[in-house]
Amino acid sequence: MTAEEPGPSRTPPAWIIVAVAAGLVLIGVARWQFEKTSWERSARFVTERANETPALVPIVTWEGKTFHTGDTVRIFKWAGTFKPSDTGYPDDIDAGPSRTGVVLGGEKRKDSWHLRIDQAEPIQIVRVRWHRQTWKVNLQDQTIVLEPFEATIHADHIEVLP
């Protein structure tokens, strides 16, 4: 090589620079997503759902059991799962025995695609603010600590603690 012919350029092509920059951005976003803890997601969902909560009645009486706003309750038998829209966690959470919370009130069941609700039926759904505690992730051998969240449960599955 002579001074007139300096040789190949050492500057990478523009497309390589753009590809590397895009990759670094994606890695940063992925890391940020993974660093979010379950309680941050849970707190965000609870805050977003606070404005969506229907009017609650302060006392629910169902098949001989009475629940008052402020009562501490415990799940005493399997009650299905809480959905991500309730907990803020990406997977369903088992609503299993021994989990506790505080009654916020009762609300009417809602119609769904497979069930029509008689609007004259008594209230049997209790909205509970579940305490910060360990929950089992549905269909996985994994537990997770969730910050307090609100979710409904049928009165058949809970009991008032003394």
Q: Are 68 and 128 in contact (CB under 8 A)?
A: no
Q: Which amino acid, 17? A: I
Evaluate whether residue 46 is within a structural domain: yes
Query: What are the tens digits of pLDDT across the range 39-79?
Result: 555 555 555 555 555 678 888 998 999 999 999 999 999 99
pLDDT bin (cut points 50, 70, 90) of residue 80 is very high
What is the residue range of 94's domain? Answer: 38-160
HSE, side-chain direction, 13 A CA sphere, residue 9: 4
Evaluate whether residue 96 is within a structural domain: yes
pLDDT for position 93 = 96
Cα-only R_g, the chain: 26
Evaluate whether residue 108 is within a structural domain: yes
How many structural domains is the chain composed of? 1
Q: Which of 69, 57, 86 is nearest to 152 (CA)?
A: 86
pLDDT for position 138 = 92
Evaluate whether residue 77 is within a structural domain: yes
Evaluate whether residue 3 is within a structural domain: no
Evaluate whether residue 101 is within a structural domain: yes
Q: Please give the model's pTM, rounded to 2 decimal places.
A: 0.66
Mean pLDDT, residues 103-132: 88
Q: Where are the beta strands (DSSP E) in 1-157?
A: 59-62, 65-68, 72-75, 81-82, 93-94, 100-107, 125-130, 133-136, 143-146, 149-154
